[in-house]
Structure 1
């Protein structure tokens, strides 16, 4: 197959993204990359600083396909495929087949739902990473349920990353991430915990948090340092807001790959990946006392930490490697 990928990250020289993990595959893969967008702009600022990059991505893809043979289009996340899907609709084009991987119904999708419904009529498959989204999105977007597919996400094996020589000097708990995190609940839950917590998050996500002696805010660190922070921790905590779409999944999978016990907010999305008491601990959204008890339990029970971490690693190896994820996506593309 000749496959055109629409993404918002720039693959390095010789990098074929998912196809790096498909060595037997003979597909030709081309990339069109969205120009840098100002994601930090609030509300109306995104109209000028963020969304135009993805509109232009669709226009470039449309022009590219006029001169290049293409069997499939793969857009990573809805933002990278929306403009091209609209162009397909305006010109009544439904070839080549188009797949949007990692669609999440939030942001612009909730502001202009009519536009999204129109565009998705010209998308052949929408891949979501949670069962709940596969259940409610067909009704929300007026799509045939067969066109919305649940496909478990995958993550790179961070155990293969060389450990940094510089680590936090003492034992610590790790938490991090930007999207839909509930750090206020986590910081409150650390009251009376005799261990340090490292929060790896942007400043805007931690602004206003109360100061605690055992809570350290690093800001966003480079990728290799982020992976090493997870690997060096006692366990990880992923506090999430109560949202109906996928959130925190990469953080969950990175902790599983590192073989760490995980405490995560109980949401339909996290329940797809974590089995309570077997591969991690699930706690109720916004419940400070429940989160505090889970943290204290893992601190005081190192054997249980180790058991949960081993189980999580085994589950990662079975289902959530990049090789497994790439094979699932490739099979979907082939079977359209």
Structure 2
């Protein structure tokens, strides 16, 4: 599909959109901010799960790369090749904003006069080995990342840990959350909550082993297909943990579980993906915004969001016993739990709203890109 409109803005993400993953929430906020600034634009993303290959919503066009592949690198190559072709039909482009090297390389090699923005949420050379341990070409991936970083006019990232790792200066623009009225309660009381994706670095196995020591139900609202939970379901059954599974819930249903949990868990693993690359988990920010205390792994990127003992609890990663003890203490002192939840909500309202993040993004754009006139 050739874009029908003379777009001046392009946002590219090697992610399925929309979806229930945190990355899709971020894409929605930042792409919307870009397109509101530019009077429209083209969003190029992955398709799947019944999404159409082409969609038009007012002055925004969405083109989805639909071709599946046996391996992620094969699909990434096809994604990039399609983008290179799309760029030939965007002669009026003034800004191209991308989230990964698969979209970045065609953009920085295109040779146009438009401004390029690299939004570094993760580095494939670090993340992909966790999902595909035998994946080849890590040096090649790292080289593509470096090429994009060195060629981009603006580099942004949600975590100071990530910014410190990059070989070029980067502007830190944190993820955000919305402060909303409390949702209606779900059909269950007195439960712990984990929500988000189920990649190995999330530490869901640590959560299951900790909750097995407590005798409380654990609600897991996974943002992915049920087949991704097979191993964790077997582990929960073996440990005797009562788990209430939910998959790809719409936001209004997820809010019910999130807003009424006793505690929210973010047991991130101590691994290079979390420690050296950095991260900015939306599950932490959204729980804090709901006034629900978070018990999370004590990692540098998490300390950017939570102050231990004030706006949440931080415990040593990969230690179910320590996680269980921290949970038990907060369960035994409901007044402290309520105080911590209120402090967390106030902290988000002061420092981590999506409104503030979008304002920082617009300021970053403004350093290189003048405001476009209203059409």
TM-score, normalising length from structure 2?
0.73
Which of residues 139, 149, 158 in structure 1 aligns to 2:171?
A: 149
Q: In the TM superposition, what are the counterparts of 1:106-121 in structure 2 within 5 Å?
A: 106-107=126-127, 110-112=138-140, 113-121=142-150
Kept after mapping to 2: 8 A contact 1:199/1:217:
yes
The 1-side partners of 2:294 and 2:76 are apart by: 35
* 16 and 199 in structure 1: CA distance in 2 versus 1, 3 angstrom threshold: closer
Structure 2 Cα separation of the partners of residues 122 and 94 of structure 1: 12
259-268 or 173-182, which deviates more:
173-182
Distance 1:308 1:110 in 2: 42
The answer on whether the counterparts of 2:157 and 2:163 sit within 8 Å (CA) in structure 1 is yes
Distance 1:289 1:251 in 2: 22
What's the counterpart of residue 190 of structure 1?
Answer: 211
Contact 1:194 1:214 (C-alpha < 8 Å) held by counterparts: yes
Within-5 A mapping of 1:251-270 = 251-270=283-302
Cα distance in 1 for partners of 2:112, 2:314 equals 43
* Corresponding residue number in structure 2 for 1:299: 331
Report whether the alignment pairs 1:59 with 2:80: no
- Deviation of 1:207 after TM superposition, in Å, equals 4.7
Map of 1:65-84 to 2, 5 A cutoff? 65-66=90-91, 68=92, 70-75=93-98, 77-79=99-101, 81-84=103-106
User: For 1:280-295, what aligned pairs fall within 5 Å after superposition?
Assistant: 280-295=312-327
Q: Structure 1 residues 171, 53: closer, same or farther in 2, change over 3 A? A: farther
1:303-333 CA-to-partner distances (Å, cap 9, x unmatched) read 1111111111111111211111110001001
User: 5+ residue gaps in structure 1?
Assistant: 139-144
* Aligned mate of 2:166, from 137, 157, 174: 137
Residue 220 (structure 2) aligns with: 199
Structure 1 counterpart SS, 2:156? strand
Deviation of the 1:236 alpha carbon = 0.4
CA distance in 2, matches of 1:53, 1:215: 43
Structure 2: give runs of 5+ residues left out of the alignment: 1-6, 20-26, 50-68, 129-136, 369-375
Distance 1:103 1:192, change over 3 A: closer
Asked if the contact 2:310/2:340 (under 8 Å) is kept, the reply is yes
Q: 1:199 & 1:241 partners in 2: Cα distance? A: 17
Per the TM alignment, residue 280 of structure 1 is displaced from its structure 2 partner at its CA by 0.5
The answer to whether the aligner puts 1:36 opposite 2:47 as a matched pair is: yes
Give the direction of change, closer, same or farther, for the CA distance of 1:18–1:115 in structure 2 (3 Å limit): closer
Q: 1:237 aligns with which of 265, 271, 283?
A: 265
CA–CA distance in structure 1, aligned partners of residues 212 and 38 of structure 2: 54
Instruction: Please list the CA deviations of residues 103-135 of structure 1 after superposition, one character each: whole Å capped at 9, or x if unmatched.
Output: 312346945212222233221222112112111
In 1, the alpha carbon distance for the partners of 2:80 and 2:9 equals 20
Q: Distance in 2 between matches of 1:218 and 1:234?
A: 17
> 2:335, 2:220 → 1: CA distance?
24
Matches of 1:223 and 1:79, distance apart in 2: 30
* TM-score, with structure 1 as normaliser: 0.81
Kept in 1: contact 2:11–2:31 (CA 8 A):
no
Q: Is the 8 A contact 1:33 1:57 kept in 2?
A: no
